[in-house]
Amino acid sequence: MNIYQLSVNILTILFDKLSLAFIRKSPSPACIAIIRLDSIGDFILWLDPAKELRELYPQKRITLICNQIYSDLARLLPYWDEVIAVDRDKLTKDLLYRFRSLRRIYRLRVETAIHPTYSREYLRADSLMRATCARQRIGSIGNLSNMTSLQKKISDQWYTQLLPASYKPMMELRRNAEFIRGLGAKKFTASIPFLPFLMPLPDRLILPKPYFVIFPGASFPGRQWPASQFGILLSELSAAQSWRAVLCGSREERSVCDQVIRASGMKATNLAGQTLLPELVEVIRGAAFLVSNETSAIHIAAATGTPSVCILGGGHYGRFLPYDPEDAGKQPLPVPVIHKMDCFGCNWKCTQPHKKGTPVPCISGITVEQVWKAVENILPAATNK
């Protein structure tokens, strides 16, 4: 750790302590806070343990403190009484926002705070855990994926109990089950999460069936399969099936969806940037199948029973995909397509030659033929759906 990082750690501790000064409120034994600030896909994978928390604390008022990007979805679920949305970026870049957020968390007066994320973040969820000042502050022993050893040593002290976790690689469904069993749900098993019906779609999003969804964006350019390859796949799918093609993504991904459509030379509907998250869930639920990079869309498909194919890189291989539940149930599992390399498990810190902003080799090496074969394998399930 360099002098700059050390200074940031010290100043953050002092700033956060000042933010909570002069507030004196006793905690309420009836109040529990659950803290999750990770991504949409992580949240979807955690939904079964979230449901179990309500069973573990039936008489408590549960507040979920979560990433604002999925707060609208969280508010439609029955597992908590209140949802507080937090902007992850502003929490670390806007001091006034951080000051107000920490004070708001403290004023919840929670007796118990629980942070179930394995790969904790010092400046985000760990800091919010500290701000609860709860008598019981429970988290995972965690790892060093998102923080330095010094940061972990400091933030470990902000918890009253750190539940043990296996150090061997483990799929996130099993990791979540490990944590909830540590809380007391001894018979809990890791299964595919289920998203109940959330809302009827507005008229503008009601699509003639059957249709399939392509999700060509990704949060990290390195794991985004080329738009030209998606275009060829879309052309082949349209030629083989008379189903409507629908492209989805965020507002920022609208242009890449347009690129895919142009490359295919086919007609398709571009909904990128036009759906709220709960609406996207229902669009994916209604699809015959989905093809996507490793994004939240894959986990939404699994949780809504939609057959899916995932173009999967090696950065987190085995952690979020392929699925490895303890109880597979009847929902279709995402089908991964990979270009196997010895460097799998790099935490997306690619050491292989590639241009910045372009797909890393384990993504660019995946062929249209591979993806097409995977789609062929799920077509019977898609047709039945």
Strand spans (E) along the chain? 28-36, 61-67, 82-86, 110-115, 136-140, 161-163, 211-215, 244-247, 269-270, 290-293, 308-311, 335-337
pLDDT confidence tier of residue 6, bands split at 50, 70 and 90: low
State which of 183, 212, 230 marks the end of a domain: 183
Are residues 214 and 362 both part of a single domain? yes
Cβ atoms 296, 40 nearer than 8 A? yes
What confidence score (pLDDT) does residue 261 get? 97
What confidence score (pLDDT) does residue 196 get? 94
Other beta carbons within 10 angstroms of residue 180's beta carbon come to: 24
> What is the domain range of residue 134?
22-183
In a domain, 376, yes or no: yes
What are 18-72's pLDDT values in tens digits? Answer: 777 666 566 667 799 999 999 999 999 999 999 999 999 998 999 999 999 999 9
Residue 357 or 223, more confident: 223
Are residues 310 and 224 both part of a single domain? yes
Are residues 43 and 111 both part of a single domain? yes
Instruction: Count the domains in the chain.
Output: 2
In a domain, 192, yes or no: no
Q: Which residues pair with 86 in a beta bridge?
A: 67
Nearest to 100 by CA among 116, 114, 112, 84: 84
Highest-confidence segment of 68-82, 232-246, 354-368: 68-82
Are residues 232 and 367 both part of a single domain? yes
Cβ atoms 161, 137 nearer than 8 A? yes
Cβ atoms 179, 173 nearer than 8 A? no
Are residues 146 and 50 both part of a single domain? yes
Sorted by sequence, the CB contacts under 8 Å of residue 192 that are 6+ apart come out as 173, 302, 303, 323, 325, 328, 329, 331, 333
Mean pLDDT, rounded, for 241-266:
94
**Which helix (H) or strand (E) is 341 found in, with range?**
none
Cβ atoms 302, 321 nearer than 8 A? no
Nearest to 91 by CA among 9, 5, 16, 6: 16
Are residues 173 and 214 both part of a single domain? no
Are residues 117 and 35 both part of a single domain? yes
In a domain, 56, yes or no: yes
Q: What does the mean pLDDT of the chain come to?
A: 92
In a domain, 102, yes or no: yes
In a domain, 157, yes or no: yes
Alpha helices in 265-360 (DSSP H): 277-286, 296-304
In a domain, 196, yes or no: no
In a domain, 2, yes or no: no
pTM over 0.85: yes
Cβ atoms 33, 132 nearer than 8 A? yes
Are residues 161 and 264 both part of a single domain? no
- The CATH number of residue 59's host domain is 3.40.50.2000
Are residues 27 and 145 both part of a single domain? yes
Query: How far, in Å, CA of 266 to CA of 144, rounded?
Result: 46
Are residues 37 and 83 both part of a single domain? yes
Residue 323 or 1, more confident: 323
Query: How far, in Å, CA of 76 to CA of 28, rounded?
Result: 25
Cβ atoms 160, 27 nearer than 8 A? no
What are 275-322's pLDDT values in tens digits? Answer: 999 999 999 999 999 999 999 999 999 999 999 999 999 999 999 999
Sorted by sequence, the CB contacts under 8 Å of residue 326 that are 6+ apart come out as 173, 174, 177, 189, 190, 191
Are residues 99 and 230 both part of a single domain? no
